[in-house]
Structure 1
Amino acid sequence: MNHPHPSGTAPFVLSVLDNAFTGVGRRVTETYEEIISLAKLADRRGFQRFWMSEHHAMPGAAIPAPLLMAARLTGETERIRLGAGGIMLPNHVPLAVAEQVGMLETLAPGRIDLGLGRAPGTDGATAAALRRHASANEEFPEQIAELLGFLGNDFPQGHPYAGVPAVPGPWQADENRVPRSDTSADVWILGSSVYSAQVAARLGRPYAFALQFGSADILNAMRIYRENFRPSPFLDRPYSLVSIGAIADEDPAEARRQSTSTAMAMLRMFQRKPFALLPPEEVAAYPANFQERQVLEEYTDRTLHGTAEEVAAGLEDLQRHTGVDEVMLVVSGYSRRAQSHTLDLLADHYGMPAA
């Protein structure tokens, strides 16, 4: 893995995560068009990578297959790294994932990231429909090992899959005339706990911590990752990323207003209602009781919101606090304009390339 350098005056690398949230009253086709536009904007403005997340049976989150959208984006962008943040590996067959990644790397050599997580990305019934069984989380390390074996075509002799190549793949042409690919995807370990930090450290892989999900112990996770990191052929020293929600606007009140939509969607999920991104006007009109108001306030404030200067100050405090190498903006808000405007404002603030 190459260690990127910050663009402009940013003290860290900046990237983007799009959850493909589709606001109530909007069409999925609009969301996909806007994701493509946002990826192109992030590419032009010098962001390092553009990731998408995996969700199932959630009408408010429109990407169940992020690698499929990444395939479209390989032809829409020129420089930015593309990938899944992430693929929930227990939902998938490792060989199929390796084959799909090989295709993406062939389409966009050196630009593909593969983030691996173990959460289902959905509810129990949907997880069962995905053929995910109760012990899937415990099998996560074995699944990673199997996937890495396919990606590198390096199963040990005698392994039952040693003669099963993932095509296309990164190996030399031989007497069987297997096609050669000179690059392979960067594999990341994703999580929001010390468990994922231990896995990333043991494998010598970059580590991405999802802070947008809650008040998890990121400091302990980062300490464990750095203290236990084992250099690998893919990474010689620890490299970490933290993702966090962010909305910037010239009017800080509007930025906060947009952030309430995601907070309301989280409240609905806690109430076992469908995850839905409501317009800020509906959120403001909701007759919340005291406990509901506390949840709404908490999740509104978990998104960094305000002017570009205020959001940038929050990002810089977070980076100093955690020591991460990279910060990934989880673009949110009911308005898709709010998301693209956030990227433009922060890119302008940090002197990144002009659109």
Structure 2
Amino acid sequence: MIRGRSQGTAPAVLSVLDLATVGAGLTATDALRTTAELARLADRRGFHRFWVAEHHSMPGVASTSPAVILGHLTGQTERIRLGSGGVMLPNHQPLVIAEQFGTLEALAPGRIDLGLGRAPGTDGATAAALRRGRADGADAFPQQLAELIRFLDDDFPDDHPYAAIHAVPGPVQGRVAGGVQPADRPPVWLLGSSGFSAELAGRLGLPFAFAHHFSAANTVPALDLYRRSFRPSDALDAPYAMIGVSALAADDEREAQRQVLTGALAMVRLRTGRPGLIPSPEEAASHPFSPVETEIVDGWLANVVHGTPDAVREGLNDLAKRTGADELMITSNAHTPAARLRSYELIADAYALPR
């Protein structure tokens, strides 16, 4: 069964979501080194999971290939669960995902999660380039999901066209002569920002992760739908809901505001069709925001829990209470690697997580 572990004084299990963000004046190498450093910090400080996201054609985000990054992180960590938040299933063939995450499970047995989303993680043109003319897209998500789970479990019916196809590493290696491979495979999570995946996760008895950090107005309705739709399964006997939340702690309020404004300006540029690197705090502070841009910034910052460690703790506690989430997956997006790392240290301290 999927359950998080108790952590310090936190009202819900605490985890980390990382996008390997690339700041102005920094490289993708810098970003990915920071991701590895952050994974080690999260492992050391007792966060429960460390997930990386899949995004494409965005200069400020280097997490285009979760399986590649996770493969690196298996050698950088010891205890923390590693996973995708998420792999965008319509962009990939189910067999390929099953092989990738079977490989990850072999590298870090019992520590891998497979989070799946139905959005492209990019714009329509890039999605078309990824899918090479396939027309199924998000509409075929339930069928793709069922196929992927069959590959992970290696249990296609005998009369299925794929019955003789096996995802390797995987359960088939434990069934052939001399095989000792355990049948364990990564738990599957559904991710979403609307009701579709919430209802599907409930009907299938899967854990559900909601993108509160960019769809806050839908959080409570989606979680309510998930819980109403839930049917017990081999994976879960009761609903388990996680929400992604943007949060950034700093030693003082002014520094926190300075850092979160960089992410707000990056969001302004993304939403107005000008995606780029994450601007520096100096660039963000001097930017002449138009009325339209100010509206985007205000809406974005309203859903970012930021400030001193005590203020962030209070904000996260309130969010856990309002949503009833079992787990909070924190993403701290800022230009400066040191600021991001410091944020997680401060949040860990605020909740008395182990050192």
What TM-score results when the alignment is normalised by the length of structure 1?
0.96
- Match of 1:130? 130
Map 1:31-46; keep pairs closer than 5 Å: 31-46=31-46
The answer on whether the counterparts of 1:42 and 1:50 sit within 8 Å (CA) in structure 2 is yes
The answer on whether the counterparts of 1:266 and 1:275 sit within 8 Å (CA) in structure 2 is no
Q: Give, in whole Å, the separation in 2 of the partners of 1:174 and 1:107.
A: 20
In the comparison of the two structures, how many residue pairs are matched?
Answer: 354
- Match of 1:237? 238
Q: Give, in whole Å, the separation in 1 of the partners of 2:174 and 2:274.
A: 53
* Cα deviation code 1:265-322 (max 9, x no counterpart): 1111121112431112112211222221121122123211001111111111111111
The answer on whether the counterparts of 1:88 and 1:119 sit within 8 Å (CA) in structure 2 is yes
Unaligned 5+ runs, structure 2: none
The answer on whether the counterparts of 2:212 and 2:218 sit within 8 Å (CA) in structure 1 is no
- Match of 1:218? 219
Question: Which shows bigger deviation, 265-274 or 107-116?
Answer: 265-274
Q: Which amino acid aligns with 2:11?
A: P
- Match of 1:248? 249
The answer on whether the counterparts of 1:193 and 1:216 sit within 8 Å (CA) in structure 2 is no
- Match of 2:50? 50
* Cα deviation code 1:316-354 (max 9, x no counterpart): 111111101000101211111111111111111111111
The answer on whether the counterparts of 2:39 and 2:73 sit within 8 Å (CA) in structure 1 is yes
Q: Give, in whole Å, the separation in 2 of the partners of 1:143 and 1:7.
A: 35
* Cα deviation code 1:184-214 (max 9, x no counterpart): 1011000011111011111111000011113
Q: Which amino acid aligns with 2:171?
A: P
- Match of 1:349? 350
- Match of 1:15? 15
Q: Shift of residue 174 of structure 1? A: 3.0
- Match of 1:152? 153
Map 1:1-355; keep pairs closer than 5 Å: 1-131=1-131, 133-170=134-171, 173-178=174-179, 180-354=181-355
The answer on whether the counterparts of 1:106 and 1:181 sit within 8 Å (CA) in structure 2 is no
* Cα deviation code 1:84-143 (max 9, x no counterpart): 100000000100100111111111000001100011111122111112545411001100
Q: Shift of residue 183 of structure 1? A: 2.1
Question: How well do the aligned residues superpose, as a CA RMSD in angstroms?
Answer: 1.4
Secondary structure class of the residue paired with 1:62: coil
Q: Shift of residue 170 of structure 1? A: 3.1
Q: Shift of residue 175 of structure 1? A: 4.6
Q: Give, in whole Å, the separation in 1 of the partners of 2:176 and 2:33.
A: 45
Secondary structure class of the residue paired with 2:189: strand
Q: Give, in whole Å, the separation in 1 of the partners of 2:12 and 2:290.
A: 40
Q: Give, in whole Å, the separation in 1 of the partners of 2:118 and 2:105.
A: 23
The answer on whether the counterparts of 2:20 and 2:34 sit within 8 Å (CA) in structure 1 is no
Q: Which amino acid aligns with 2:218?
A: D
Q: Give, in whole Å, the separation in 1 of the partners of 2:293 and 2:332.
A: 24
Secondary structure class of the residue paired with 1:329: strand
Q: Shift of residue 216 of structure 1? A: 3.3
Q: Which amino acid aligns with 1:131?
A: R
Identity %: 49
The answer on whether the counterparts of 2:5 and 2:48 sit within 8 Å (CA) in structure 1 is no
Q: Give, in whole Å, the separation in 2 of the partners of 1:287 and 1:206.
A: 43
Q: Which amino acid aligns with 1:195?
A: F
Q: Which amino acid aligns with 2:44?
A: R
Q: Shift of residue 171 of structure 1? A: 5.1
Secondary structure class of the residue paired with 1:213: coil
Distance 1:175 1:251, change over 3 A: closer
The answer on whether the counterparts of 1:188 and 1:205 sit within 8 Å (CA) in structure 2 is yes
Q: Give, in whole Å, the separation in 2 of the partners of 1:224 and 1:27.
A: 41
Misfit runs of 4+, over 4 Å: 175-179
The answer on whether the counterparts of 2:46 and 2:354 sit within 8 Å (CA) in structure 1 is yes
Q: Shift of residue 5 of structure 1? A: 2.2
Secondary structure class of the residue paired with 2:131: coil
